Amino acid sequence: MCLGRSLYFCNPLSCRFVMQKVKGAEAMELTSVTTVGEQEGIAAEDRKLRTEGEKTGNGGKGQVSPPSLPSEEQLAELERLIAERAIVEVDVLERVRGGLQVRFGELVGFLPTSLATAKRYPSEGEVRQLLGQRIHVVCHELRKDPTTGDMTLIFSHRHFLEDLALARLHVGDVVEGTVTRLTTLGAFVDIGGLEGFIPLSELDHLPVPVPNKVLSVGDTVRVQVLSIDLPKRRVRLSRKALLPSPWEGVEERYPVGSRVRGIVRRVVPRAAFVQLEPGIEGIVPVEELSWTQPAAHPAQFLSAGQELEFVVTEVSSAQKRIVLSLRRAQPNPWEQVRQRYPVGSRVEVTVRRLSPTAAIVELEDGLPAVIPAAELSWTHPRPQPSNILQPGQRIPAIVLQVEPERRTILLSYRQTQPDPWSYAEERFPVGSYVQGTVRRLLPRSAIVELADGIEGFIPLSELSWTRRPSHPAELLSAGQQVQCVVTEVSAADRRLVLSLRKAQPNPWDSLHERYPVGSEQEATVVELRQAGALVRLSGEIDAFMPRSTFAHLLRKTRQPWKSGDTLRVRIVELKSEELSLIVEPLLEQTAPARPKPTAPPQSTAGTSPPSLKTPPHPRPAPTRSPARREEKRTGTTLADLLPEEVLQKLQQNIQLRRRS
């Protein structure tokens, strides 16, 4: 058979099989003895093979026959052994290139050097120690040369040793081993035919950057089995588990509230790590760095290698966690803040930061405070802080609110200046005429600036005597100069109400002459509303047309007119004291007269008189069923369509007409 090299991994739970030569038979008989994990079964099989060898007179080694090609039956049996990763016994014959030649029954196989011992790279002396011995191996591969057709049967002694070691190991076992290799990730240890791995984190309780800091190749080390991965033949070990933990008794050494000194080792975005002793590190959250200055990064206060005093706030040996505080090792300035900064006191602050809604300032002792945008100016209700202040500027302020529990101090910058509303009642008395500038137009009012820091508003109803706008933008525009009359003023509520129409003459006193009741006028439709329509007469006064006056048109269409349409109306009611003008539309409701039938021509003389005929009976008028008449009576009436107020006014108008 041709010899070759190969490296394969077998199943660690495969069964142990022994091939025996049967006298007078060419076939190979497969005998299942026991599993790899059973040491007693292996020893019993060894004794059985020795007894059979003594009977044949060859000392249990058997005769070495020249290599021959396996028969088809033997080949099928070998393929099954390889598929099952069976464990068999072989005799080591001689040292050849790349490994050892072994005898398996009447077949000669090959044991590669990398699979001859427990080590991947054994020495020459360790390989030659196997010559002349009978060893257990795993059937790995039956390789066929594609050119010559020769078959190579490859065995593995190393995987047998690994199977045996894995069968004896259990999670939690403490074993001794020899360090074979060191890598950047950890150390490999030979634990008796099997290499286990110790990660860096399991070498020591202290951080180990490289394994050669604590171990060297060839060292004997005691380790504990952490995990076993049978399919992958991997064993994870720990040296740290057998070393005394520095976290034992940490609650007694570092009780909560005690002051300790430590060295800053690392600074990360949300915390800093401080070494208290070898193997013991505490964490300082970013919130525990300063009483007065919120830190975005711990590097603003700490740096690696710095030694400081801290206060223990939390300790747990089970979780291996100690929480420290830097700010609690210093006096808390918030404890005396109410006594130092009473409400209403005047302070000097420095502007540190500006946001769209507030200015962040710093008091003399480093405490932060906030000036809301509404407290920056009397003249602007919500100014942009950057338009009034600049970072680094030194300004006075008045204390408005102090909350030590929330660590909040509210200040006011505008209260350090005169309040224009303090003399608003004397400067703008009720009934006085004032000049102002329209600043903003709201849906129901217009905001007018009268002086710096004083603004009044004009309600929608006080914009015009004769117009009824739905929005102030129909009559005013931003930036327009207007003259108004003060109707209400309150300095305490900072409220000033104005009237634009009262600054003009009241035209309702003379409207009786221009629009007498019953007169017809030209009108323009302004808006259709729920209760009726708003029309404008002569482009100067708005009148109301009740819905009842054109209810019959609504039965045909939902919108009899559009905004801007013109129509003729009649004045129905005019009340100058209520500023009320009611009209009704003039609509053509009379039907055209039917032409009268012409009489037949009368007969001339000499003609025969017409024959006398009885007049036909008059056709009876069609009668309607009572049910139909009742149905018509119970339909929708005009009173159902009108609001109660409009219906009462119409009844009053009808009574007035009857009297007149």
**Whole-number Å distance between alpha carbons of 296 and 311:** 21
pLDDT, tens digit, for every residue of 211-254? 998 999 999 999 999 999 887 888 999 999 898 888 888 999 99
Q: Residue with structure tokens 């905001």?
A: 447
Task: Tell me the average pLDDT across 57-67.
Answer: 39
Let me know if 635 is exposed, middle or buried by CB neighbors in 10 A (0-12, 13-18, 19+). exposed
pLDDT, tens digit, for every residue of 363-397? 887 888 999 998 998 877 778 899 999 999 999 99
Above 70 in pLDDT, residue 650?
A: yes
> Which top CATH class is 170-242?
mainly beta
408's CB contacts (< 8 A; 6+ apart) are: 370, 401, 402
Instruction: Please report the pLDDT score of residue 620 as a whole number.
Output: 52
Q: How many of the other CB atoms lie within 10 Å of CB of 434? A: 20
Kindly state which CATH superfamily the domain 508-585 is placed in. Nucleic acid-binding proteins (2.40.50.140)
Q: How confident is the model at residue 267 (pLDDT cuts 50, 70, 90)?
A: very high
Above 80 in pLDDT, residue 473?
A: yes
Contact between 435 and 428 under an 8 Å Cβ cutoff? The reply is no
> Which residues share a beta bridge with 245?
none
Residue-wise DSSP of 1-30:
-----------TTPEEEEEEEPTT--SEEE
Nearest 5°: phi and psi at 155? -120, 170
Helices (H), 229-384: 250-253, 337-340
CATH number of 333-416: 2.40.50.140
The secondary structure element, H or E, covering residue 626 is helix 626-633
**Vertex 656: Cα angle to 650 and 660 (nearest 5):** 145
**Whole-number Å distance between alpha carbons of 482 and 458:** 11
Instruction: Please report the pLDDT score of residue 407 as a whole number.
Output: 85
Higher pLDDT, 13 or 656: 656
Q: How confident is the model at residue 448 (pLDDT cuts 50, 70, 90)?
A: very high
Q: How confident is the model at residue 538 (pLDDT cuts 50, 70, 90)?
A: confident
CATH number of 15-164: 2.40.50.140
Q: Which of 478, 422, 489 is nearest to 448 (CA)?
A: 478
Instruction: Please report the pLDDT score of residue 638 as a whole number.
Output: 57
Q: How confident is the model at residue 66 (pLDDT cuts 50, 70, 90)?
A: very low
Contact between 153 and 104 under an 8 Å Cβ cutoff? The reply is yes
What share of the chain in percent tops pLDDT 70? 81
Say which DSSP state 23 is in. Answer: T
Look over the chain and give the mean of its residue pLDDT values, rounded to a whole number.
79
Above 90 in pLDDT, residue 452?
A: no
Say which DSSP state 645 is in. Answer: H
Q: Please give the span between the terminal C-alpha atoms of the chain, in angstroms, as a whole number.
A: 141
Query: Which region among 434-443, 451-460, 495-504, 646-655 has the lowest average model confidence (pLDDT)?
Result: 646-655
**Residue 651: what residue type?**
Q
Above 60 in pLDDT, residue 68?
A: no
**Whole-number Å distance between alpha carbons of 17 and 160:** 12
Task: Tell me the average pLDDT across 22-33.
Answer: 29
Do domains 170-242 and 250-329 share one topology? The answer is yes
Query: Which region among 33-47, 130-144, 512-526 has the lowest average model confidence (pLDDT)?
Result: 33-47
**Whole-number Å distance between alpha carbons of 359 and 346:** 17
Above 90 in pLDDT, residue 349?
A: yes
What are the structural domain ranges in the chain? Answer: 15-164, 170-242, 250-329, 333-416, 420-503, 508-585
> Which top CATH class is 250-329?
mainly beta
Cα dist from 445 to 26, 250, 440, 452, 497, whole Å: 115, 71, 9, 20, 10
Q: How confident is the model at residue 660 (pLDDT cuts 50, 70, 90)?
A: low
Contact between 453 and 378 under an 8 Å Cβ cutoff? The reply is yes
CATH number of 420-503: 2.40.50.140
Residue 506, both tokens: 């009241």
Buried b (16+ CB within 10 A) or exposed e, 363-376: beeebbbbbbbebb
**Whole-number Å distance between alpha carbons of 19 and 12:** 20
